[in-house]
A and B are shown apart, each in its own frame.
Chain A
Amino acid sequence: MVRQTFPWHVVFFLAPAVLIYSLFSALPLIDTLHLGFYTSDDAGLNHFTGLSNFRTILFDQTWSTAFWNAMWNNTKFFMIHMLLQNPIGLLLASLFSLKGLKWARTYRTLIFLPTLLSVVIIGFVWQLILSPLWGVGEKLMGYVGMADSFAPWLGQPSTALLSVALISVWQYIGIPMMLIYAALLAIPEEILDAAHAEGASGLRVFWEIKLPLIWPTLGLVTILTFVANFNAFDLIYSIKGALAGPNYATDILGTFFYRTFFGYQSQIGSPTMGAAVATMMFLVILIGVGIYFFFVQRKLTRYEL
């Protein structure tokens, strides 16, 4: 439609969304990235200091140890999700999307339930189960004759991060499962029927037809997991507190950011240092998203139907 007058209606349609999004999401993000280059004095005034905050985070002994510890823990946290959450999600989705399977909807509905609940609730639930005080975990392991191998996993530095990651996997498995399930549903029936008619086994159909067709979804699941993991906070804060103990064994970028911004114990919080940490997190996520868009997605779209 060609209109001569200024298209006020277009402005009317776009203004609310663009305003709220800009004011409370886009501009604060840009402002945070900007604030990372400043430092505030005792009077609360900000002074430009160039890259000095980043130099502190990366090269000052105390800061860099904490930062790289959080970064490394976060990487392990992500790898555990990639090794367990997504493959198990794929397995479950492929099983209950099999044609003619009874109770498929019931399985799907029930397995998705934990994903709906708050991370905080889930964190406490598992904390109780793993608590040596209550002894449920020990009792359960006793049924399979392994009561002796029970240990306070959440409290030991060597196992705390793995335990927290497994709790997170247990909770969020529903997301990859559902995304993959949706992708499997979208595969045209004729292709599968043709393969079966040719006598291909179920396993072969999975490896040679289904899996290549859902690569784009697996790529999407990977990047969503990456962004969610490198932005995680709630679970560790509710189980281990802002100090991410024992001895920072479960510290990830989210908890490190929170402590830097708000302070803890003797250290005073600093918005500008917090902004610098947020900038580092932004860069990590940007690199991940960049790799996804420029390499993974471009390569994968070829397989799309």
Chain B
Amino acid sequence: MARSLLRPFGRAGVHLALGGYTLIALFPIALILINSVKSRSAIFDNPLALPTPDTFSLIGFHKVLANSNFLLYFGNSLFVTLTSLVLIILFGAMAAWGLSEYKFRGNRWLALYLAIGIMIPIRLGTVSILELIVKLHMVNTLSALVLVYTAQGLPLAVMILSEFVRQVPKELKDAARCDGVGEIKIFFQVILPLIRPAIATVAVFTMIPAWNDLWFPLILAPSDQTKTVTLGVQQFIGQYVTDWNSVLAALSLAVIPVLVLYVIFSRQLIRGLTSGAVK
């Protein structure tokens, strides 16, 4: 049967539209990557040309690595996002299980209390968060960022994980209970392994905002030892704004790891995104 919108003429139009937009989406990133490996004069003479043996130069990358602790910033970002993710998944799954498995007074209120955090941005509490972090002597520590991102990610994670926890067959839980297994053991040995498919979805919604955030690193942990990539690049570029080689190399260094991860995980990521959104 002929799909009316996919007649040959229509099909070409569809590809034209999608291909055109794909070009718009990729061009700026490609432009940065291409020019980051060119000499200064080549960057200005012909920005749209690919690097040739004549114009190839890695000077920008040498400068960035020599003038900033880029690898340290990268490690900081990795530590903060991964630790937050582990805490969000563990504590989120525990809370999702606690809320959907047991009936107790105030259950629905507690669920609503947690759900408010999905809609109200945590940033609005920054004044008091900073005060609290100062009181706890945690300014310029990565733990401060981990705690804030965990608090930020938990509400949505609890909602997504609740959907998964509710799908666990009743027989599985009852069988374990008949064998006299304790509730806590049931969670860790039966339930937690079953929510593995949800991890991708939770990771998409919690890791990306944490990795890319500028606000909290800027306010809670701006020291050179605790800078994240996002803040590090932002400040590096602010300092070297006229050195185009350095700026382009710094941008590329920030983009490349994400690009590599995306090439590896894009399928899981998009599946996580769409399955999380349908629910």
Contacts and interface: CB of A to CB of B under 8 A. Distances in A.
Chains A and B bind each other: yes
Interface of A: 1, 7, 9-10, 12-14, 16-18, 20-21, 23-29, 31-32, 35, 88, 91-92, 95-96, 98-103, 106-114, 116-122, 124-126, 128-129, 134-136, 139, 170, 173, 178-179, 181-183, 185-186, 196-197, 200-203, 217, 223, 227, 231, 233-234, 237-238, 254, 261-262, 271, 274-275, 278, 281-282, 285-286, 289
B122 interface: yes
A278 B123 CA distance: 9
A74 B197 CA distance: 38
15 contacts: A9-B184, A10-B98, A14-B110, A28-B126, A31-B125, A107-B19, A111-B18, A111-B21, A120-B234, A121-B233, A126-B28, A134-B43, A201-B4, A234-B215, A275-B127
A29 B4 CA distance: 53
Contact of A109 (B94, B122, B154, B266): B266
Nearest to B273: A178
Contacts of B110: 14, 18
B155 A21 contact: yes
Contact of B3 (A99, A126, A231, A274): A99
A17 to B, nearest CB: 4
B47 A98 contact: no
B126 to A, nearest CB: 7
Interface in B246-273: 247-248, 251, 254-255, 258-259, 262, 266, 270, 273
B4 A21 contact: no
Contact of A31 (B28, B128, B230): B128
Contacts, number: 267
Given A110-B26, A285-B120, 10 more contacts: A12-B184, A31-B125, A110-B22, A116-B258, A120-B230, A136-B48, A181-B274, A185-B274, A200-B4, A238-B234
Contact of A238 (B104, B154, B214, B262): B214
A101 B25 contact: no
Contacts of A223: 119
B47 A23 contact: no
Contacts of B15: 102-103
A234 B209 CA distance: 12
B159 to A, nearest CB: 12
Interface residues of B, dominant DSSP: helix
B interface, how many residues as a size bin? 35 or more
Given A29-B120, A120-B233, A121-B251, A100 B3 contact: yes
Contacts of A139: 47-48
B25 A118 contact: no
B182 A9 contact: yes
Contact of B14 (A12, A98, A114, A201): A98
Contact of B94 (A14, A113, A136): A14
